[in-house]
Structure formats: structure tokens, C-alpha cells
Amino acid sequence: MKKRGFTTSILHGDRQKPIEHGSLHKPVHTSIAYAHKTTEDITKVFQGIQAGYTYSRQINPTVTALEEKITAMESGKQSLCFASGMAAISAVMLTLLKKGDHLVSSSFLFGNTNSFFSTLENFGIEVSFVDATDAANVAAEIRENTKMVFVETIANPRTHVVDLQKVGELCRQHDLVYVVDNTMTSPFLYQPKDHGASLVINSLSKYICGHGNALGGSVTETGNFDWTSFGNIIESYRTGNPQKWGLQQVRKKGLRDQGGTLSPQAAHIIAVGSETLALRMQTASENASRLAHFFDQHELVKAVFYPGMPYHEQHSRAGELFKSYGALMSIELQDSVDCYAFLDKMELGIISTNLGDNRTLALPVAPTIYHEMGPEKRKSMGVGDGLVRLSIGIENYQDLQNDFEQALNKL
Ligand SMILES: *Cc1c(COP(=O)(O)O)cnc(C)c1O
């Protein structure tokens, strides 16, 4: 059969296997445990000789159905879901790295990931933060004990775009696990597998769910990495298809032992939300692009950070890599203007910390999500005191422009 389009395959994915009563949606399976016909059966499932369900902390049919959808979206081999994006990231790091290993990370990172990486240092894992918009900076940090490179596609809030292709080549040359957090672009705009990613992370709480009503995270194995050369896979998981060894260890040592499990109820909400990912992403990106030009023209706006602007430092790279420039931007108002006053004057835009919702959300970055970091670290990440992050939604464009216009005019 011809390969189906992105949205078609999400919509019709569940029905590839029969569902009770001809249901169009995979049901929410709330049972924690599963009965087996014979003792022989349950032993085989435990030993991985036979497929089947054991205990919902590590496997559940509703969650499996979502994992299969995400695997299809990322054109991967297999995925695992977690209770949140952070649960997915921490499970990957804590199960594939160990004391004495070295991780190279982009310095432009989601704040909580940055905070978590400093916790890794407490466990004897070395972490170097580099400006990964230039792959040479990543190359310069590679050492004998380097095991993994971690980057995001478009980094929030300043919208830096990593040199995803060259970093991928570098990882291949040095046999490093290349982990790409695809949250900001989502698999609709970009598939990190194409540029050598070994594992792809998504916070499902953002664009994939899209409605801001369920938390979730995922890790997808792309099949690009040869795990036979990776010393940290323990003996028991060096069985079956070597392309899946990494995720096998993350499932057992991460999901099963650490327990950051996605609930079946959340999995269902996320699966339904994901059906419109492409439609939402297209509309939100178009709104963002038009608003970026509107802000750029406004005399009270000093700077606009959006990969779609021709003067953005990685504009042409973003154009080559992604289907569109995404729905996240940041702006800085003129020094004389109080950004709190601007945000308080919004009537439609919502003052909120989330992103990837259908609704447009706005947040002053330095005093909120980057507060704990302190002024020096903020400066190194390019976060000025007046930076406002805007996660653009799918409202009718003119309503958004009118709202920002009236808020600016009242200042
Ligand atoms: C939100 C986010 C995360 C964390 O996801 P949660 O589901 O909130 O835990 C990780 N990475 C990026 C890029 C994010 O935006």
C-alpha cells in the first residue's frame, strides 16, 4: 500500500488492528493487571519470549496505541510514553548514562531540562553546555568519555536553531547517542530521524496534545544508532533486534523501575488531540509569522525573535530544516516601556506559562521560568529582563493583531 499522509495515518492508525465493537477510538483500558490463560503464558511474557501485557506501570494497551501513533509520526522503530516530557528526559539520561560519562548539551535549553542536567552532575555524570547553533562548538567538547549529545530543535525562548544536520554527522562519526528534543517543532514540522537522531523526545503536553489538557512525554527510537557498540547496555537487554536495545533498557530501567508512567486517561486525551496536529500547527505557524511582521513594524517593539524573520541568525537553516517556522516567538519592547503593563493590557492573549496550546499565551521570561537561574546564566542564554515569550495559538488572525495593537497603543 502507498504510504499514507501524516494526518491520514494518525486518524486511521488505531483501526489497523481490530477494536472491540468496531470502535473508532482505542478504548481507555484502566486495568492495572492482565489475566493470562496459563502459567506458561505469563512466564513467557515476563521473559520477553511472547508479546503481552503484565502490569500497567510499564505497559498498557491505551498507552501502547499512543506509542504506535508517535512512532508513525516520527517514522521511527518504537516509542515509549511517560507521565511528562521531563519524565521522558530523565528516564533516558538516568538509564543510558552512568558515573564517569560525559554529556554534551546545547546551552539553549528548556529551563527544567537545564536544571535536571545540573542534578546529573551530582551523580558523577559530567555535562558541558555549548552553543550548538555551530557544530564546531560541539566537536570541540567531545572527549574520550563522551557518550551522548542532547539538543532541542528550536530553543525556547530566544528561538535559536541548532545545526541539527552537522551535529548529527558529528555524532555518527564519533558513535555518540544523539538525542533531539523535537517538542517545539513537533514531528509535523520536522523529523530528527532524517538528520541522524538516535532518540527523539517529545513533550506531548505541548503541540501533540495541543489543547493544554493533558501532560505526557515520549521517547522514540529511530533505528539510526547501533547499540551493539554502546557499552552501557546491560547484558540482559542485549537480546533481539539491536536497533531496539536502547529503548528496551529505558523501558525496564526507566519506566518500570522509576515509574514515571503515563495514565491511560491522559494517553487517550493526547491521542485525540494529536489527530489535528498538522492543522493546528499550520494555522498557529501562519499566525505567528504574520504577528512577527506586525511586531517588527511597531515602534514600541525593539526586537523580535522568530526564525521566520529574514534577519534571524538561523533563518535560512530553519527554512531548509522545517516545514514552517513554528508558533513560538519572543519580543523585547523598547526600554522605556514596561512589559508587565503591556501583558496586563491584553484582553485575548492569556498570561500563562504553558506553550503549544490552541490559545495564545504570553509570559515575561526573566522573572518567571528563568528566575531560579540568576542574572548571569540568563545573560549567557540571551534572556534579557524585558523578554516576553509568546506562544501563538489558532485564533482568527485579525483578533490577535487587534488585541496586541490595542495593548501596545495603551502604553
Ligand atoms: C515543556 C517542555 C519539556 C517538558 O515537558 P513536560 O511535559 O512539561 O514535562 C521538555 N522540552 C521542551 C522543549 C519543552 O518545551
Taking the centre of ligand 1 as the mean of its atom positions, its distance from the CA of residue 36, in whole angstroms, is 37
Give the atom of ligand 1 at the shortest distance from the alpha carbon of 183: 13
Contact 368, 353 (CB under 8 A): yes
- Best residue among 66, 90, 112 to mutate for probing ligand 1's pocket (most ligand atoms within 8 Å of CB) is 112
For residue 148, what are the β-bridge partners?
Answer: 103, 177
Task: For residue range 83-137, list pLDDT tens digits in order.
Answer: 999 999 999 999 999 999 999 999 999 999 999 999 999 999 999 999 999 999 9
Q: Which atom of ligand 1 is nearest to the CA of 184?
A: 13
The Cα–Cα gap between 244 and 136 comes to 30
Q: What is the pLDDT of residues 277-300, one digit of tens each?
A: 999 999 999 999 999 999 999 999
Atom of ligand 1 nearest to the CA of 87: 9
Under the banding of pLDDT at 50, 70 and 90, the label for residue 382 is confident
Atom of ligand 1 at shortest distance to CA of 216?
A: 7
Q: What burial class does residue 130 get, using C-beta atoms within 10 Å of its C-beta: 0-12 exposed, 13-18 middle, 19+ buried?
A: buried
Grid cell 551530582 in the structure block, residue = 122
Three-class DSSP labels, the chain: CCCCCHHHHHHHCHHHCCCHHHCCCCCCCCCCECCCCCHHHHHHHHCCCCCCCCECCCCCHHHHHHHHHHHHHCCCCEEEEECCHHHHHHHHHHHHCCCCCEEEEECCCCHHHHHHHHHHHHCCCEEEEECCCCHHHHHHHCCCCEEEEEEECEECCCCEECCHHHHHHHHHHCCCEEEEECCCCHHHHCCHHHHCCCEEEEECCCCCCCCCCCCCEEEEECCCCCHHHCCCCCHHHCCCCHHHHHHHHHHHHHHHHHCCCCCHHHHHHHHHHHCCHHHHHHHHHHHHHHHHHHHHHCCCEEEEECCCCCCCCCHHHHHHHCCCCCCEEEEEECCCCCHHHHHHCCCCCEECCCCCCCCCEEEECCCCCCCCCCHHHHHHCCCCCCEEEEECCCCCHHHHHHHHHHHHHCC
With 0-12 CB in 10 A as exposed, 13-18 as middle and 19+ as buried, what is 172?
A: middle
Average per-residue pLDDT in the chain?
Answer: 96
Give dist(CA 78, CA 180) in Å, integer.
15
Q: Which residues line ligand 1 (CB under 6 A)?
A: 84-86, 110, 113, 152, 156, 181, 183-184, 203, 205-206, 215, 217
Rounded Cα distance, 332 and 33, in Å? 52
Residue 381 confidence (pLDDT) above 90: no
**pLDDT tens per residue, range 314-344:** 999 999 999 999 999 999 999 999 999 999 9
> Per-residue pLDDT for 383 more than 90?
no
Q: CA 136, CA 65: separation in Å to the nearest integer?
A: 40
Contact 170, 139 (CB under 8 A): yes
Distance 44 CA to ligand 1 centre (A): 36
pLDDT digits (tens, 9 = 90+) for 18-54: 999 999 999 999 999 999 999 999 999 998 889 999 9
What's the CA-to-centroid distance between 408 and ligand 1, angstroms?
30
Does the pLDDT value for residue 1 go beyond 70?
Answer: no
